Chain A
Amino acid sequence: MFLLTYKSCNLCDLINHILELAGDRNTANDNNKKVQIRWVIFDAFTVYSAVGGVRCSQFGHHKEIKSEMAAVGTWAFSQSAVERMQCMILAGQNSTDVIESAIGEVENDVDTGRNIVGRGGFPNSMGIVECDAAIMEGVPGRFGAVAALRGVGQPCQVARRIMDKSPHSFLVGEGAAAFAQEQGFTIEPNDRMLSDHTVAAYQEFTEKGIHVSGHDTIGLIALDLRGNITVGVSTSGAPFKSPGRVGDTPIPGCGLYADHMIGAAAASGDGDKIMCYCPSFHIVELMRQGFSPKEACCSVLADIRRKVGEDNCFEISLIALNMKGEVGATSSVEFPYTFWKQGMDSVEMHVLPC
């Protein structure tokens, strides 16, 4: 255990210093000029990122740095979240705080709601926005989830409170809202959860039966510098779903799974179908047996395709991260995902073909 007392006005030097301490001198030298974050004030100060103006605080005392650092997210709209995660991870923040914060920004932003997450997400068939979210730490199988939660713009924060403050794992519906209220969340009226876009879409649905396609979920995985891994997921669910309908997102093993010795995975897509196959758990099990994240994802998708028939495969996209910071992804549809790992100067987006 040691106290980092390094003070610098240059994040490049800071990262250099951290990576030197981690023993990775070559990478440190390469990183020196490439990092895009503008300036840092460390230890008694606060780290600022020029990327999106995100502010990261660090905790001062650091335990021995022992792992690769990495972050990955589903879909193109996760880019800003993963950039935020990069900054927070580099600043030494705990993986669970990183996930909660990054997902919260996406959930609460009514514009990303059109991607079927949180505030601004599509309502159920009665016009009410109901959200599902979950968070799982790899250490040691800690988990919290909410489903069919109304009136909360950042449902993943409520899921975290369940993980931290309740021996239960999963709260739904009115009970979840009551718990959230007890925990200090405001339950907002439904029209605060809708956007102009979703109101118009709902009107088209009720008047003309026009559906909206897409089953997006934001799934984020963070691996911090202490080797903690956390995965978080959030969605407003299938547009115009039946009231009370819960998809795969908040279901352990389906929407998400994490194991502190192995890694984590998350899924997105047709939740009603996904939840019959426990894909996230399956991916982690294969990684446990030595598969790389990519091999594990592909194997699970191939397995599902075999079971349902090649022509009947539903929409499913999978991401995975192991404790070495290796990323894997696969999908039955075109699937952009964003990721960053230690040594990369910026977040990259890859797009998988179908």
Chain B
Amino acid sequence: MIQTWIFFIYLLPITQAFLPLVMNTWHFENATVAAWDRLVRARGSAVDAAEAGCAQCELEQCDGSVGYGGSPDELGETTLDAMIMNGDTMDLGAVGNLHRVKNAVGVARAVMEHTDHTLLVGEAASAFAQDMGFKAEDLTTNRSLNIFFQWLKTNCQPNFRKNVLPDPSKSCGPYKPEPKQKWRSQKPRTQTDLHSHDTIGMIVIGQNGQVVAATSTNGATHKVPGRVGDSPVAGAGAYADSTAGGAAATGQGDIMMRFLPSYLAVELMRSGIDPTTACKTAISRIKKYHGDFFGAIICASKTGEYGAACSKHPGFGEFPFMVFNSRTNRPVMEKVDCF
């Protein structure tokens, strides 16, 4: 009898100890707990859990870089980007430049479940959200207004303009294009506020192996109105494929979205590369062209192994992320050194 039990124990995949898994960028612990509770206690799906985790950060305005009341654009408005991807079905829902609705990841899920589309943007996305029952409300708070007014006082420094007149390094807009012969090569932008590019990126892997990835952010502070970063772009901000794993990224979205780091990491894991190496390769690919860009990525394979990597940037030498799985049995913050 004992021999039979021992035999069956040996048959158990060792990796079962790693699932289920909730993992997210930064030290946003409440989001991790919210996702885990939804997954394990409430027996929700991995999609429910990822949505709940990101929504928690939207509610709490994590670091001022997720949800309402943060990162005002050039006109002082806060707009949101989010996505959610179901690695079982490869379904995806995303919103970009969402106005006046707080629960951006919820709207992204509605796009996935209530339309045949994948990405809705701008005012039309807000109209869709309201049709779906999301409340329309002002995303501006005293805090975001204050950030905006302080920025105006500094003559709108820093900003994301280049090759325009008046000189954007000295003046606010409105701007007009500068004649081409006067264009200067872009000086590297000094990162004055590391929080200006944070995103919550979350990977959830259910006990049954369903991989889901989701993101939510209010984007880059003082961005040009209408700017969408990497967060709602499949393969850039996040990617999920239950046959391989999931990944989610954070950082300078304008740069990162050109390199599809999340997709690359998942494909590398598919070919058997461990999550840490997959993450590092994705970051290295970007560093080749942007040596000290600000960015990080988390990766998890379908069996629940995980890793992370980050790019060294002035003031940013290590990257914290949260893990909660059946081995830790509580939310644990881990860190990786940036390279």
Contact = CB atoms under 8 A, between A and B. Distances in A.
Contacts of B85: 276
Contact of B90 (A142, A172, A252, A308): A308
Interface in B214-261: 223-229, 233-236, 239, 243, 253-255, 257-260
A182 interface: yes
A141 B258 contact: yes
Nearest to B85: A276
Contacts of A254: 234-235
Given A172-B226, A272-B116, A183 B177 contact: yes
A173 B124 contact: yes
Contact of A148 (B121, B224, B235): B121
A288 to B, nearest CB: 10
B164 interface: yes
A343 interface: no
A245 interface: yes
Given A272-B118, A277-B90, A168 B254 contact: yes
A242 B115 contact: yes
Interface stretch (A8-16, A158-166, A193-201): A158-166
Interface string A36-66: 0000000000000000000000000000000
Contacts, number: 172
B274 to A, nearest CB: 19
Interface of chain B, helix or strand or loop or mixed?
loop
B234 A278 contact: yes
B254 A175 contact: no
Nearest to A237: B117
A170 B228 CA distance: 5
B264 interface: yes
Interface string B77-88: 000000001000
A276 B263 CA distance: 10
Interface of A: 124, 136, 140-143, 147-148, 161, 164-179, 182-184, 241-247, 251-254, 257, 271-273, 275-278, 281-282, 285, 307-308
23 contacts: A166-B162, A167-B160, A167-B162, A168-B224, A169-B229, A169-B258, A170-B228, A171-B227, A172-B97, A174-B122, A175-B226, A179-B224, A182-B164, A241-B117, A244-B128, A245-B120, A252-B233, A253-B236, A276-B91, A276-B92, A278-B234, A278-B260, A308-B90
Given A173-B97, A174-B225, A179-B224, 9 more contacts: A141-B258, A171-B227, A172-B97, A175-B227, A245-B115, A247-B118, A252-B258, A275-B118, A281-B264
Interface of B: 73, 85, 90-92, 96-97, 115-125, 127-128, 160-164, 173-177, 183, 186, 189, 223-229, 233-236, 239, 243, 253-255, 257-260, 263-264, 267, 288-289
